[in-house]
Each structure stands twice: as C-alpha cells, then as structure tokens.
Amino acid sequence: MSSTNLTIGIIYLLCFFGAASLVIYIRNYPLQPWAIKIAPLTNLLFAGTLACWMVWGMIANYMWDLFREGKGMADISYRKS
C-alpha cells in the first residue's frame, strides 16, 4: 500500500469518527454552550457520517466478492487512464 493511500485512509477514518463523535455529543448534551453553537450543523454532520457508512458498505461488498472468488489483496488493481 502506498503512502498516499494510507494517508487518505487515515484522513477518512478521522473524519468519520470525528463527525460521528460530534453528532453523538450534540444529541446527548444539547444544552451545552459548545453544542448549541454547532447544533445547526447536526444534519450536515449526520449526512457526512451516513456517506462514510455507505462507502464502508461498498468497500465491504467489494471485499466480500473478491474473497468469495478466491482472490486476495494482491489481485486488487487500479485503472490507469
């Protein structure tokens, strides 16, 4: 795995867990001053979290199909344009 892919993966995970944590915090502590300030962004953060879950689902589906065919991680290739 190249360093670029690893960096993108780490950024993706940080964004996913950060958005999910903020949504949970806002929903559990709605009267906190910090939560009140970012409450209008709750729907946007939730939509971002759902988008991340959809991408996770697509990756899981791809891996499921890949491994059911008896292939491994070495068989993954990128299109070159």
* pLDDT classification of 61: cutoffs 50, 70, 90: very high
Average pLDDT over residues 57-68: 89
User: For residue 39, what are the domain limits?
Assistant: 3-75
The DSSP secondary-structure symbol of 31 reads: T
* DSSP state string for 9-74: HHHHHHHHHHHHHHHHHHHH-TTSHHHHHHGGGHHHHHHHHHHHHHHHHHHHHHHHHHHHTT--GG
The DSSP secondary-structure symbol of 16 reads: H
Domain total of the chain: 1
Average pLDDT over residues 36-46: 85
Amino acid identity of residue 50, one-letter, is L
Comparing 1-5, 9-13, 27-31, the range with the smallest average pLDDT is: 1-5
In a domain, 40, yes or no: yes
Q: Between 79 and 52, where is the model more confident? A: 52
In a domain, 30, yes or no: yes
User: 15-39, pLDDT tens digit by residue?
Assistant: 888 888 888 888 888 888 888 888 8
In a domain, 80, yes or no: no
Distance, in Å, from the CA atom of 31 to the CA atom of 56, rounded to the nearest integer, reads 32
- pTM of the complete model: 0.64
Question: Two tokens at 76?
Answer: 């993954």
In a domain, 81, yes or no: no
